[in-house]
């Protein structure tokens, strides 16, 4: 039986412009410990949908995990602006904490 990542890779291969498939593939790759492969998929998502807060949060956190702090900061700052604009209080608190530690 194919892994979740393999299932979503197959869907992305058939519909490469589908940001939902890319987002799900990125999450599956991270879950499989293949975060480095997920970065480009999250970047695709935020390029396609600039107000997608969760994709920015997950990308920023992933970049932190990969030791790419300078790259993570602008994504987390953008996510914080979106959290405030969209009135998402829990993500706002989490993002303020992450940014305070950078």
Domain locations in the chain? 4-100
- Whether residue 78 contacts residue 86, with contact meaning beta carbons closer than 8 Å, is answered with no
The 10 Å CB-count burial string (b at 16+, else e) for 36-45 is ebbbebbbbb
Q: What string of pLDDT tens digits covers the 102 residues of the chain? A: 889 999 999 999 999 999 999 999 999 999 999 999 999 999 999 999 999 999 999 999 999 999 999 999 999 999 999 999 999 999 999 999 999 998
pLDDT of residue 1: 81
Q: What topology does CATH give the domain 4-100?
A: 1.25.40
Measure the CA–CA gap between 23 and 90, rounded to whole angstroms.
21
pLDDT of residue 15: 98
């Amino acid at each position: 039986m194919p892994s979740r990542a393999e299932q979503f890779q197959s869907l992305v291969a058939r519909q490469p412009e589908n940001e939902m498939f890319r987002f799900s593939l990125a999450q599956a790759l991270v879950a499989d410990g293949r975060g480095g492969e997920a970065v480009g998929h999250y970047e695709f998502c935020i390029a396609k949908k600039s107000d997608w807060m969760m994709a920015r949060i997950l990308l920023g956190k992933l970049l932190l995990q990969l030791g790419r702090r300078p790259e993570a900061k602008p994504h987390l700052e953008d996510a914080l602006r979106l959290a405030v604009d969209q009135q998402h209080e829990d993500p706002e608190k989490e993002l303020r904490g992450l940014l305070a530690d950078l």
